[in-house]
Structure 1
Amino acid sequence: MKERRLLLATSAGLLIIVFLRVALEKSFRRSPPPAVLKSAVENPTLKESCFDYVNFTAENVCCKMRKYTAGDVLRCVEGFSAEQRLQRKKAANIFRANSTTLPAVTHIALVGDSHMRNLFVSVVERIGIEKLQVRRKSVQNTWGDAKKVLKTMHLQTFIDTTEVRHMSAPFRVTWYRDWKLDGFPELIHRWETNQELRPSLVITGAAHHWMRKHPPRTGKPFRDFLTTLAPHLSRLASSVPIYFKLMDIVPTSYTEVKQYPDFNPQAIALYNSIAVQQLQETGTVFWDSTLRLSIAYTEECVRSNRITPATNEWNCGDPGHIGYIMLDQYADMIYNAFCNRFLNLTDDYCDTGR
């Protein structure tokens, strides 16, 4: 009897050990992504809550993302142009006059600093570069081949406002150089008065230069500036979608804390929260699905200082920016958010209706 009790006790102990081991193993595994319905999240393509991040890749768990090709972009342009023609016809019928409030081409405008410039390159390259022409603000009326200029911008040494057009499709992309967005109100005025080609989509966001030039830890100068910018964004957002990209974590914020003591992940989080607080009533869409990707990129740069010179996929030698391994995913997020509704995709894809 005594031996039997000992055997039972031993067996029970082994079962407990096995149970605990299984429980611990489960606790260390990656938990499955949450089941989130697309309909439950507004703008699922641009929201961090809709993505599962694995190493250096973001996978949407709310809906399907499409990997955009040049052909997809051209189909989007055709669809957008058809929509604009229909809206213009309706406006003409109502007001018995031609409407000039809508752009004749698909025009993606990126407004901001060098981070917007690099994103501009990824957005442009998605349509291919064989049929693209480019012009710079310094030589306004001169269109030239885009290959050399895009390569120069890829190397992050180009600082002029730059416009690209497709030679056989009504498609343009413009990067407006504006380090702190303090020229943005005037640009909006030029759009409103048809002095500049009106945008179909605006992508913006700039706080890095505010943090470096005006470093008080409260972020008050940035907060005050956004208060003055908000009414202009409200006017613009009433007719054009605006994606306000929150600030990425960059390697500088990890590696140069002594030189820039107020430029760190905590400060970046503060400035992002300020942007959301000050602009949440303007109708802009806040884009934060890139932030976890930027953290993964930054941490890898700190570990290995990876560099791929031919493509700049990894460019850890430039600690102030994110490499194109991430920027190309950012471009896909933009195209999915803006273009999916024009591609006749099934309903399980992101942003297929408005």
Structure 2
Amino acid sequence: MSPKTIQLYLYCKMPYTTTVFKMTCVIILAAAVYLQCSLWLKLATRENYEYRNTKQKRVSISNIPMGRHTPPVLSNHCYRYGKLAAVNQCCRMYDYGINNRQNILECAARSPAWFDSNRGLKTSKLHWMFVGDSHIRNLYDVLIRRLKSPLLVYRKKSYREGLWRKMDTLLLAKYQGIPVLVKHLKAPLLLTFTWSPLLELLPNLTKEWLNDEETPPTLVVMGSALHWTHKTWDIYKNIGAEEAAELYKEYISSLSDPANKKKLIQRRMSVVFKLLDHLPASSNNITNIDTYNRIASEVLPAEVVVWSSTIPLSDLYVKECERKKRDTPETKLWRCKDEKHTGYVVIQRYVDMLLNYGCNHILNLESPYCRHE
């Protein structure tokens, strides 16, 4: 083939070759864009599901018996979760934040009167008692930190012993194992905490409340599971989750005394049982936490309110700690190195929920538990 013929041949084929090349490039580029978009959409959808629907990560937190009534403020079904926050979709809650417009002291001042048989007269006092393990203690700690005031004092040991001291010393102290009382010098407010990680002291405390031996609480917040998981670790490891939780089930069942129900109702005493938060996966017996929460939801009597709305927030906290390890010892907002507790950054939200439930329940408002728009 002559050079002229070759040149003519290339001239004739070039347009066709260029078109095919362009089409091929377009197809490859379109395929690449499609794959990239699909991958991005898949990741975004997955992240959105894990982030916004964290409460569905562990199905068992929604397995609360249908016959049980949990108020909207404490039920996980009423919240939209995200960015370590929970927005109630069932009702609008009061603001008990750090710059609170609604103060717990107003709640205490308006609390109904009760009869004190020891003094032979009626008195008005908002008495909230916290009983349980370190998770309940942290909740109590955040509450009294929020109420920090020169008019708040505390003492340890018992109701009738010990000197009343300034609050700034309590905030630096460890009060594990010792009952702590915090009161306001001018408002009728009393907040107590009793260390009882297995709730072993609850029967005696209940007897004191019902027999007027001590100032009966208007609200009792309790919780216990973490120490039970440690106590039954060998059973869990060698036999199984259900078998390990059987001891817990038997004990929780024994706490329900039908004879006390009527007295508790007459005293308008509200009892809240806080379910155990989800903890980092490396914690011992972590996979058994849902079993204990389910048992508490099933076994506790209907008069006891099961508090489940904190669990999705703990999931978000654990996820954030996995993304970025944070530790702020002074404020305790972040405690990512602590595999047994959540940081105060989410416990602050727990206190918001509790204040809304507690104050509205005690005051017996027309719209119980929350303010509807």
- Which TM bucket (shorter chain)? 0.7 to 0.9
Cα offset, 1:234, TM superposition: 3.7
Q: Equivalent of 2:182, from 152, 164, 170?
A: 164
Q: Equivalent of 2:113, from 69, 73, 84?
A: 84
CA contact (8 A) 1:314 1:324 kept: yes
Larger Rg: 2
SS of structure 2 residue aligned to 1:134: strand
- 1:277 and 2:304 aligned: no
Summarize the alignment of residues 75-154 of structure 1 with structure 2, pairs less than 5 Å apart: 75-80=106-111, 83-84=112-113, 104-137=124-157, 140-153=161-174
Cα offset, 1:316, TM superposition: 1.5
Please tell me the residue identity of whatever aligns with 1:226.
I
- 1:192 and 2:210 aligned: yes
Please tell me the residue identity of whatever aligns with 1:62.
C
Q: Equivalent of 1:267, from 275, 288, 292?
A: 288
Cα offset, 1:352, TM superposition: 4.6
**Quick one: distance in 2 between partners of 1:344 and 1:225?**
32
Cα offset, 1:345, TM superposition: 8.9
CA contact (8 A) 1:103 1:198 kept: no
SS of structure 1 residue aligned to 2:220: strand
**Quick one: distance in 1 between partners of 2:89 and 2:371?**
16
CA separation of 1:117/1:54 partners in 2, compared to 1, >3 Å: closer, same or farther? same
1:330 maps to which residue? 350
**Quick one: distance in 2 between partners of 1:144 and 1:62?**
41
SS of structure 2 residue aligned to 1:224: helix
- 1:221 and 2:261 aligned: no
CA contact (8 A) 2:118 2:212 kept: no
Cα offset, 1:350, TM superposition: 4.8
2:270 maps to which residue? 241
2:27 maps to which residue? none
Q: Equivalent of 2:282, from 240, 255, 267?
A: 255
Q: Equivalent of 1:289, from 288, 309, 318?
A: 309
Cα offset, 1:77, TM superposition: 0.8
SS of structure 2 residue aligned to 1:151: coil
**Quick one: distance in 2 between partners of 1:101 and 1:189?**
21
SS of structure 2 residue aligned to 1:152: coil
Aligned-CA RMSD value: 3.5
Alpha-carbon deviations, 1:172-191, whole Å to 9, x = none? 10011101001100110011
Aligned residues, how many?
304
**Quick one: distance in 2 between partners of 1:308 and 1:98?**
46
The normalised TM-score by structure 1 is: 0.75
Unaligned runs of 5+ in 1: 1-16, 34-40, 89-96
CA separation of 1:344/1:230 partners in 2, compared to 1, >3 Å: closer, same or farther? closer
**Quick one: distance in 2 between partners of 1:101 and 1:305?**
54
Cα offset, 1:143, TM superposition: 0.7
Unaligned runs of 5+ in 2: 1-33, 54-68, 236-240
Alpha-carbon deviations, 1:124-167, whole Å to 9, x = none? 222223211011117923110111212334xxx74421110011
Identity over the aligned pairs, expressed in percent? Answer: 30
**Quick one: distance in 2 between partners of 1:101 and 1:226?**
35
2:333 maps to which residue? 313
1:72 maps to which residue? 103
Please tell me the residue identity of whatever aligns with 2:91.
C
Please tell me the residue identity of whatever aligns with 1:247.
L
**Quick one: distance in 2 between partners of 1:198 and 1:101?**
14
Q: Equivalent of 2:223, from 205, 208, 231?
A: 205
**Quick one: distance in 1 between partners of 2:249 and 2:129?**
24
Cα offset, 1:74, TM superposition: 1.2
**Quick one: distance in 1 between partners of 2:207 and 2:191?**
19
Moved over 4 A (4+): 29-33, 97-103, 341-347
**Quick one: distance in 2 between partners of 1:135 and 1:246?**
28
CA contact (8 A) 1:112 1:204 kept: yes
**Quick one: distance in 2 between partners of 1:186 and 1:223?**
20
CA separation of 1:120/1:346 partners in 2, compared to 1, >3 Å: closer, same or farther? same
Cα offset, 1:42, TM superposition: 4.9
CA contact (8 A) 1:308 1:315 kept: yes
